[in-house]
Structure 1
Amino acid sequence: MFVSYKWLEQYVDLSGVTPQELAEKITRAGIEVEGVETPASEMKNIVVGYVQSREQHPNADKLSKCLVDVGEEEPVQIICGAKNVDAGQYVAVAKTGAVLPGNFKIKRAKLRGEESNGMICSLSELGIESRLTPKEYAEGIFNFPNDVTPGEDALAALNRDDAILELSLTPNRSDALSMIGVAYEVAAILGRDVKLPQPNPAESTEKAADSIQIRIDAPEDNPLYIARVVKNVKIGPSPLWMQTFLMNAGVRPHNNVVDITNYVLMEYGQPLHAFDLDRLGSNEIVVRRADEDEKFVTLDDTERTLSADQLVITNGKEPVALAGVMGGANSEVHEGTVNVLIESAYFDGQIVRTASKAHGLRSEASARFEKGVDPARVQAACDRAAELMAELAGGTVLSGSVVAGELNVEPKKVSITLERLNTRLGTDLQMGGVEDIFRRLQFDTETNGNEITVTVPTRRSDITIPEDLTEEVARLYGYDHIPLTLPEGESQPGGLSPYQLGRRVVRRYLEGAGFNQAVTYSLTSEKRAAQFALEVRQPVALAMPMSEERAYLRESLLPHLIEAAAYNNARQMASAALYETGSVYLNEGENVQPKEEERLAGVITGMWHEHLWQGEKKAADFFTVKGIVEGLAARIGLADRLTFQKSAPEGFHPGRTAEVLLDAEPIGVVGQLHPSLAKEMDLKEAYLFELKLDMLLNADREDLSYVPIPRFPSIGRDIALVVESTVEAASLETVIKQAGGSLLTSVRVFDVYEGERMEEGKKSVAFALTYADPEKTLTDEEVTAVHEKVLAALKEQAGAELRA
C-alpha cells in the first residue's frame, strides 16, 4: 500500500511530524513501513513554462525550436524533440543547472547549430514510471492545465514534492488498504482526530430507480448491491491534483469518471465500477453465477471462458462485468459516454479470489475483496463517487440509490479484564489508560468494574477475541515501553543441539577462512534443478510456480552460488569466496513429500592471497579448495576418515575434480568448474565444493584425546618414486601408511615431476616420511627395517621403483 503524505494530510493533522518520523511511528505501532520515497529530493530548478511560440528547427526534421516563458524577464529558447510540443502549452521545464533523476544535469547547449537553454520534460524524465503515466502523455511532454503560472515550482504542481510511504501489510490488516483506514491508524498513534469526507451529492428530481432495476440471483456471493445513476457527464481528464494523487498511490489515470472510481477505491477501500448506462443493453442488472464455458470479453479486450464457480454482473442476458475483478468491454466508459451507472457492492472474498486466480487477473479491487472490505462503507463510497462526478464531470445525480439485497453486519463486542491484559503484557496499566487507547482507536467502550467491553467497528474485522484487544493495547502503548521480565519458577535452560553446534562450528571455520555466507533461492529452473547434484533424481516441480525460473526445487546449492559469484564478478569483484548451508530436495516418487537434506557448498574465484606490499599473489586453485575441505574435516574431528578419489562428474573439470569420501562412503565433491560452463557464466576459473552436511555432523566421533609432546627425536627419510603416470599419489600414500605401521608418524607429498629425463608414460612422486617412537630413540637399524618394508610394499602393490 502506497500512502501519499500530502493526501493523508486531508484526513488527519500531521503538523510537526515529518514523513520519516511518521514512518518510524507507524512501524513501531505494528505496521511495517518498508521505505519513504521523496521524489523531489533528487531534483531541483524545475519550473512551469509557457510555450509562446514553436517553429521547425532549421537543421533537423524531428526537432522544434520553442520560445518559452519560465517566469523570468525574458523568455528562453529551448530545442525540443517531442512530437506533441506546441505553442500555447504549459509545460515542465528543467532550467539550465537543473538536476533530474539519476543526477542528470541540464546544461546550456547547441543542438544542430541552435542554442538550447534548458529542457522541456516528459513525466518519465521527472521520475514517474511509464506504467503510471496517462496514456496521452506516454510519449512526449506533459501539458499542464491552464491554472498554473510560468515560473512556479513544477514539482509542487505535480505533487512530486510529496513523500510516499510504502506500507507492508499483513493479510489481517485489510483496514489499512485505504487512505481513511491509514488515517484512523495514524490518528490513533498521534492522538489526533480523523477528518472524514461527508458525501452529500445534490440530486435531481428524477429517480434512479426509473433508470435501472437490480436483481441478485446469488445472494450468498453478493448479499448487497448498490447503484447510483449520474447523467450528462462530460468525459475528460480528471483534475491534476487527482491524477497526481493516483500516480503517487500507484494507479494510472484514465479519464475523470474512471479516475473518480479509483480515487474513491483508494480513499475508502471500497471497489467501485462505472458502467456506460447507454451501452449496458438493458435497464436491468442481474447478478448471478456464470454458465459453464460462458464467453466474456473483459476491459483488456481478452475473451475469457467462465466457469460456474465465478460470479458475473449481467444486463439480464449477457455478462457486463466479472464481479470484483474486471469490467466488460461491452459497457466500458469511453470518450462518448454521457450517462453512468456506479456500482458499489459487497462480494464474497472467496468467489472473487477464485475468479481472479482462474483468469490471472489481480487488481486493486480484487485484492480488497479477497481480504475483506468494510460493509459500512458500501453506501458512503457510492455517494462519494456520485458527488465527485457531479463536481468534476458536470454530471447530474439522480435521486436515491437503487439497492438490492441486505447486509446486516453488527459490530462485534469483545471483553477483557484489566488483570488479564496486564498479566499478558507484564504491565501495570490502569483502566483509564486502557480506555484512552481504545478512544484513540475510536472504539466504543463500556467499563464494568475490572472488565472493559469494546465495540469493534466493522472496519476492523481482524479483532475478534480478547488477545486481539491485548495486541491493540500493546502496540499503541508502545512495545518499547513494555518492561522486560524473566520467567518465574522452574525451567529448563535452552541450548543448541549437537547438530546445531556443529553447523555453527562449520560456519565459523569457513568465515575464518575468508568466506562470506550467501543465502540463495531454494527454487530454480528445470535446467538448473539437477545441475551438479550429488544424487541425480527427477526434479520436484511446483504445482503453482511463480515463474519458469522458479518452478523446481533445487538438488544442489552450487548453481545459485555460481550465479552469485558471476554477479559479483560482473561488478568488478573478481575475487569472491562464498559458502552456503541449506537444504536440497530429492524426489521420493509421485505424491510423496521430497526428501530434504542439508548440504554445505562453496565457490572460490580469483585471488586467494594477495599481499601487494610483499609482492605476493596466489590465485585459487584445486589444492586451495581441497585444503579448505581438509581443514574443515580436521576442525570437526574427521581428518583421518576423510579421503579423496579422482572423479569427473558432469559440470566439473575432468582432470581437477575429486569425490570426497567419509569412511569410504561418498559424501561430496570438490573440484574446478568446467571451463565451458565458466565461459558461459563469464568467469575465468571457479573452484567448488559441495558436501552432505548432515552426514558430516552426524558421523560418530571418538572422544578427543591428547598425546604428550614427543620426548624422543624423530628420523626423516625422503623417497622419490617412479610410477606410471596414471598412478595417483593418494594410492601411494595409502600403501606407505599401511606398510609403515605405528612407527610412521607422518607422510606428505612434496614433489611431482614429469618431463625431461623421465621415461614417457612415467612420473616421479617424492614423499617425506617421518618415523618416531614415543617410548625411545629409534636406532638407524630399526628405521631402515621399517623403511625397507615400505619400499617393498610400494614395489609389489604399485609397481613403484626408487628414482636413481
Structure 2
Amino acid sequence: MLVSLKWLSQYVDIEGLAPEELAEKITRSGIEVDAVIDRAQGMTNIVVGHVVSKEKHPEADKLNVCQVDVGEESLQQIVCGAPNVDAGQKVIVARPGAKLPGGIKIKKAKLRGQESNGMICSLQELGIEGRLVPKAYAEGIYVLPEDSVPGTDALELLGLRDTVLELGLTPNRSDALSMLGVAYEVAAILSTEVKLPEINYTASAEKAQDKLSLRVEDTAVNPLYAAKVVKNVKVAESPLWLQHYLMAAGVRPHNNVVDITNYILMEYGQPLHAFDYDSLGTGEIVTRHAAEGEKITTLDDQERTLQAHNFVITNGKEPVAVAGVMGGANSEVSDETTTVVIESAYFAGQSVRRTSKDLGLRSDSSARFEKGVDPNRVIPAAERAAQLLSELAGGEVLEGTVLVDELDKTPARVVVSPDFINTRLGMKISLEDMLSILERLQFEVEAANGLLIIDVPTRRQDIKIEEDIVEEIARLFGYDEIPTTLPESGEQVGGLTAYQEKRRIVRNVMEGAGLFQAVTYSLTSAAASQKYALKAEETTKLLMPMSEERSILRQSLIPHLVEAAAYNVARQIDSVALYEIGSVFLGQTAEGLPFEEEHLSLVLTGKWTDNAWQGEKKQVDFFVAKGIVEAVFAKLGLTERVSYVKASVDGLHPGRTAHVLLDGGVVGLIGQLHPAEQKQAGVKETYVAELDLLSILNASTEELVYTPVPRFPAMTRDIALELDRTTTAGEIAEIIKGAGTKLLKDVKVFDVYEGEKMAPGKKSVAFSLTYFDPERTLTDEEVVAAHNKVLKALEAAGAEIR
C-alpha cells in the first residue's frame, strides 16, 4: 500500500511530524513501513512554462524550436523533441541549473546549432514510472492545465512535493488497504481525530429506480448491491490533483469517471465499477452465477471462458462484468458516455478468490474483496462517487439508490478481562490505559463486572477473539514498554536434554565425516512408503493428497535420500554423501495420531577419497558406510553393545547387507542398493544406512571413565582359520571373545582369502588377538595359556587352524 502524506493529511492531522518520524511510529505499532519515498527526489528549478511559439528546427526534422515564457522578462528558447509539443501549451520546464532524478543536471546547450535554455519535461523525466503516466502523454511531454501560471513551482502544482510511505501489510490488515484505514491507524497512534469526507450533493427529481432495475439471484455470494445513476456526465481528463493522488498511490489515471472509482477504491477501500448506461441496453442489472462455458471480454481485451461457479453482473442477457474482479469491455465508459451507473457491492471473498484464480486475473478490487471489505462503507462509497461525479464531471445524480441489502453489518463483540490481557503480556497495564487505547482505536467499549465489552468496528475484520484485543493493546501501548525479565526457574538452569545433546553429537559425527545434511519430504508414494523400513507398521494416508507421489507418510528415510543422490548424479555430481535426521511414521498412538520415531539415514555413492596429486583414490564401499555407523556408536559410548549380522532386505544387495543390533535388538541396517535399484535410480554403486535414532539415543550409557595411558606392553597373537564360506567373521569373533580370559582385550580381522588354494566351499579368515594387563607385564606362559583356551574353543566350533 502506497500512502501519500499529502493525501493522508486530508483525514488526520500530521502537520509538524517528519515523514521518517511518522514511519517509525507506524512501524513500531505493528505495520512495517518498507520505504519512505520523497517524490521530489531532490529536484530543483522546475517551473511552469508557456509555449508561445513553435517552429521546426532548421537542421533536424524531429526537433522543434520553442519560445517559452517561464515567468521572466524575456522568452526563453528551448529545443524540444517531443512529438506532442505545440504552441499555446502550459508545460513543465527544467531551467538551466535544474537537477532531475538520476543525477541529471540541466545546462544551457546548443542542439544542431540552436541555443536551448532548459528542457521541456515529460512526467517520466520527473521520475514517475511510465506505467503510471496517462496514455495521452506516455510518448511525449505532459501538458498542464490552461490556468497554470508561468514561472510557478511545477513540482508543487504536480503534487510532487510529497512523501509516500510504502506499507508492508500482512494479510490480516486489510483495513489499511485504504487511506481512511491508514488514517484511523495514524489517528490512534497520534491520539488525534479522523476527519471523514463530507458527502453532500443535490439530487435531481428523477428517481434512479425509474431508470434502472436490479435483481440479485444469490444473496449468499452477493448480499449487498447498490447502484447510483448519474446522467449528463462529461467524460474528460481528471483535475490535476486527482491524477497525481492516483499516481502517488500507484494507479494510472484514465478519465474523470474511471479515476473517481479508483480514487474511492484507494480512499474507502471499497471497489466500485462504472457502467455506461446506454451500453447496458436493457436498463436492468442482474447478478448471477455464470452459465458453464459462458464468455466475456474483460477490460484488458481478453476473452475469458467462465465456469458455473463464477459470479457475474449481467444486463439481464449477457455478462457485463466479472463480479469483484474486472468489468467487461461491452459496458466500458468511453468518451461518448453521458449516463453512468456506479456499482458498489459486497461480494463473498471466497467466491472472488476462486474466480480470480480460475481466470488467472488479479486486480486491486479482487485483492480487497478476498481479504474482506467493510460492509458499512459499501453505500457511503457509492454516495461519495455520486458526489464527485457531480463536482468533477458535471453529472446530475438521480434521486435514491437502486439497492438489494441483506448484509449483516453487526459489529463483532469481544469480551475480555484486563487480567487476561496483562497475563498474556506479562506486564501490568492499567484499566484506564486500556480504555484509552481502545477509544483511540475508535472501538466502542464498556467496562462492567471486571470485563471489557468491546464492539469492534466492521472496518477491523481481523479482530475476532480475545487475543486480537491483547495484540491491539500491546502494539499501541508500545512493544518497547513490555519489560524484559528472566524466567523464574528456581534452581533449574536451562539447557539441552540428554537426548538433544546426543542428537547434536550424531550430527557432528556425520558432518565431521564429510556428509551434507539433507531435508526431504515426509510424504511419499504408496510404493515407497515401507521400502527399506526397519519396522513395517500400518501406514498413514492423507485424506486429500495433492498427488499420489505425496499421499502417505514415510516409514523410512532412505527412498528420498536415494532420490536426492540420483538428482545430483544426473547433474554430473558423481560423488554424493548425504545424511538426514528426520521422523518416520509408524502405526498409530492411543490418540489416533501416527507415532513419530526419529531416524538417522545416510547415502553414499562415488569416490570417498580422491587426492589426485597423490594418486590416491578410494571408491565408497560397504565398510565406509559401516565405519560411519561405528563412529556414531563410538561417540555415544555404545560400541561394546553393538553387533552386526548378515541380513536380507528387499531392494538391497543380498551379499552386502547387515542389520545393526544394540543389546541384541535390531536398531538399523547397512547395505548396498540392489543392482536393479541402482539401475532404476540411474546411479552407480551406492550404499545406504538407517538407524533407529530414538532407541539409540534413549539407550542408557554408563558414565564415561578415562583410563591412563598403558605403562605395560601388550602382546599379540595371530590366527588363520579355515571356515565354511557361509560362516561369518563376526560369529567367529564372538567365539574368540567368549573363550578369552580377562587378558584378551581386542579381536580384529586382518585378512580374508578365498583363492584357488582353498578347498571348495571354504575360506581363510585371519584374526589378530591382543592380550594385555594394565597392572603388570604379561609373561609368555600366561599369554600361551589364555591363547590355548581360545584355540580349543575354535576347534570345538569346527574351525580348522591353518
Q: Please classify the TM superposition score into its range, dividing by the shorter chain length.
A: 0.5 to 0.7
- Distance in 1 (CA, whole Å) between partners of 2:128 and 2:518 is 33
The one-letter code sitting in structure 2 at the alignment partner of 1:166 is G
Residues 17-74 of structure 1: per-residue CA shift (max 9 Å, x gap): 666665654454345x3x6146789x9999999999999x99xxxxx98799999x99
Does residue 146 of structure 2 align to residue 145 of structure 1?
A: no
Contact 1:213 1:402 in 2 (8 A): yes
Corresponding residue SS for 1:168:
coil
Closer/same/farther in 2, CA of residues 540 and 456 from structure 1, 3 Å limit: closer
Structure 2: segments with no counterpart, 5+ residues: 71-75, 105-117, 755-762
Contact 2:123 2:133 in 1 (8 A): no
Contact 1:558 1:602 in 2 (8 A): yes
Does residue 775 of structure 2 align to residue 778 of structure 1?
A: no
Match of 1:715 in 2: 714
Contact 1:2 1:166 in 2 (8 A): no
Match of 1:760 in 2: none
- Distance in 2 (CA, whole Å) between partners of 1:732 and 1:125 is 84
Structure 1 position 441, deviation (Å): 0.9
- Distance in 2 (CA, whole Å) between partners of 1:453 and 1:401 is 35
Closer/same/farther in 2, CA of residues 352 and 413 from structure 1, 3 Å limit: same
- Distance in 2 (CA, whole Å) between partners of 1:382 and 1:411 is 21
Closer/same/farther in 2, CA of residues 490 and 795 from structure 1, 3 Å limit: closer
Structure 1: segments with no counterpart, 5+ residues: 59-63, 79-84, 105-116, 755-762
Does residue 170 of structure 2 align to residue 168 of structure 1?
A: yes
Paired residues in the alignment total 733
- Distance in 2 (CA, whole Å) between partners of 1:624 and 1:161 is 65
- Distance in 2 (CA, whole Å) between partners of 1:606 and 1:768 is 31
Contact 1:123 1:142 in 2 (8 A): no
Closer/same/farther in 2, CA of residues 147 and 315 from structure 1, 3 Å limit: same
Contact 1:349 1:371 in 2 (8 A): yes
Residues 415-564 of structure 1: matches in 2 within 5 Å?
422=422, 425=425, 427-446=427-446, 453-463=453-463, 468-483=468-483, 499-500=499-500, 502-507=502-507, 534=532, 543=544, 545=546, 558=561
Closer/same/farther in 2, CA of residues 770 and 221 from structure 1, 3 Å limit: same
- Distance in 2 (CA, whole Å) between partners of 1:548 and 1:255 is 52
Closer/same/farther in 2, CA of residues 661 and 40 from structure 1, 3 Å limit: farther
Q: Which has the larger radius of gyration?
A: 2
Closer/same/farther in 2, CA of residues 699 and 434 from structure 1, 3 Å limit: closer
The one-letter code sitting in structure 2 at the alignment partner of 1:186 is V
Structure 1 position 3, deviation (Å): 5.4
* Greater displacement, 332-341 / 662-671: 662-671
- Distance in 1 (CA, whole Å) between partners of 2:187 and 2:306 is 46
Contact 1:226 1:404 in 2 (8 A): yes
The one-letter code sitting in structure 1 at the alignment partner of 2:142 is P
Contact 1:625 1:671 in 2 (8 A): no
Structure 1 position 342, deviation (Å): 1.5
Structure 1 position 440, deviation (Å): 1.4
The one-letter code sitting in structure 2 at the alignment partner of 1:441 is L
Match of 1:112 in 2: none
Residues 164-189 of structure 1: per-residue CA shift (max 9 Å, x gap): 2212233xx44333332232123212
Residues 224-373 of structure 1: matches in 2 within 5 Å?
224-231=224-231, 257-289=257-289, 293=292, 295-297=294-296, 299=298, 301-307=302-308, 311-333=311-333, 337-352=337-352, 355=355, 363-373=363-373
Structure 1 position 268, deviation (Å): 1.7
Contact 1:747 1:767 in 2 (8 A): yes
Contact 1:53 1:87 in 2 (8 A): no
- Distance in 2 (CA, whole Å) between partners of 1:270 and 1:226 is 12
Contact 1:282 1:316 in 2 (8 A): yes
The one-letter code sitting in structure 2 at the alignment partner of 1:169 is P
- Distance in 1 (CA, whole Å) between partners of 2:753 and 2:63 is 79
Residues 150-229 of structure 1: matches in 2 within 5 Å?
162-170=164-172, 173-200=173-200, 206-229=206-229
The one-letter code sitting in structure 2 at the alignment partner of 1:165 is L
Contact 1:542 1:552 in 2 (8 A): no
The one-letter code sitting in structure 2 at the alignment partner of 1:36 is D
Structure 1 position 713, deviation (Å): 3.1
Structure 1 position 377, deviation (Å): 0.6
The one-letter code sitting in structure 1 at the alignment partner of 2:714 is I
Corresponding residue SS for 1:435:
helix
Residues 665-744 of structure 1: matches in 2 within 5 Å?
665=666, 667=668, 691-692=690-691, 694-697=693-696, 700-701=699-700, 703-704=702-703, 706=705, 709=708, 713-715=712-714, 717=716, 732=729, 735-736=732-733, 738-739=735-736, 741=738, 742=740, 743-744=743-744
Contact 1:643 1:661 in 2 (8 A): yes
Structure 1 position 212, deviation (Å): 1.3
The one-letter code sitting in structure 2 at the alignment partner of 1:297 is I
Does residue 45 of structure 2 align to residue 36 of structure 1?
A: no
Match of 1:661 in 2: 660
Closer/same/farther in 2, CA of residues 409 and 133 from structure 1, 3 Å limit: closer
Structure 1 position 333, deviation (Å): 4.2
Corresponding residue SS for 2:192:
coil
Closer/same/farther in 2, CA of residues 487 and 776 from structure 1, 3 Å limit: closer
Contact 2:6 2:163 in 1 (8 A): no
The one-letter code sitting in structure 1 at the alignment partner of 2:144 is D
- Distance in 1 (CA, whole Å) between partners of 2:548 and 2:56 is 50
Match of 2:759 in 1: none
Residues 544-596 of structure 1: per-residue CA shift (max 9 Å, x gap): 75x999999786564797799999999xxx999986544467999xxx98886
The one-letter code sitting in structure 2 at the alignment partner of 1:771 is Y
Contact 1:714 1:770 in 2 (8 A): no
The one-letter code sitting in structure 2 at the alignment partner of 1:375 is P
Contact 1:226 1:344 in 2 (8 A): yes
The one-letter code sitting in structure 1 at the alignment partner of 2:143 is N
Structure 1 position 100, deviation (Å): 9.6
Percent identity of the aligned residues?
Answer: 43
Closer/same/farther in 2, CA of residues 530 and 645 from structure 1, 3 Å limit: same
The TM-score with structure 1 as length reference comes to 0.66
Residues 90-101 of structure 1: matches in 2 within 5 Å?
none
Residues 703-723 of structure 1: per-residue CA shift (max 9 Å, x gap): 456485586734354979899
Contact 2:503 2:697 in 1 (8 A): no
Closer/same/farther in 2, CA of residues 642 and 764 from structure 1, 3 Å limit: closer
- Distance in 1 (CA, whole Å) between partners of 2:179 and 2:617 is 58
The one-letter code sitting in structure 2 at the alignment partner of 1:285 is I
Residues 590-611 of structure 1: per-residue CA shift (max 9 Å, x gap): xx98886544457899999999
Structure 1 position 482, deviation (Å): 3.6
Corresponding residue SS for 1:404:
strand
Contact 2:20 2:36 in 1 (8 A): no
* Greater displacement, 560-569 / 623-632: 560-569
Contact 2:304 2:359 in 1 (8 A): no
Corresponding residue SS for 1:437:
helix
Contact 2:232 2:396 in 1 (8 A): yes
Structure 1 position 283, deviation (Å): 0.5
The one-letter code sitting in structure 1 at the alignment partner of 2:374 is D
The TM-score with structure 2 as length reference comes to 0.66
Contact 2:64 2:80 in 1 (8 A): yes
Closer/same/farther in 2, CA of residues 304 and 800 from structure 1, 3 Å limit: farther
The one-letter code sitting in structure 1 at the alignment partner of 2:171 is L
- Distance in 1 (CA, whole Å) between partners of 2:732 and 2:528 is 37
Structure 1 position 434, deviation (Å): 2.8
Corresponding residue SS for 2:634:
helix
Structure 1 position 227, deviation (Å): 0.8
Contact 1:503 1:697 in 2 (8 A): no
- Distance in 1 (CA, whole Å) between partners of 2:128 and 2:361 is 27
- Distance in 2 (CA, whole Å) between partners of 1:798 and 1:239 is 107
Residues 390-431 of structure 1: per-residue CA shift (max 9 Å, x gap): 566665544443223354634456565656655665544444
The one-letter code sitting in structure 2 at the alignment partner of 1:439 is E
* Greater displacement, 382-391 / 339-348: 382-391
Residues 527-606 of structure 1: matches in 2 within 5 Å?
534=532, 543=544, 545=546, 558=561, 581-583=581-583, 598-600=598-600
- Distance in 2 (CA, whole Å) between partners of 1:786 and 1:127 is 95
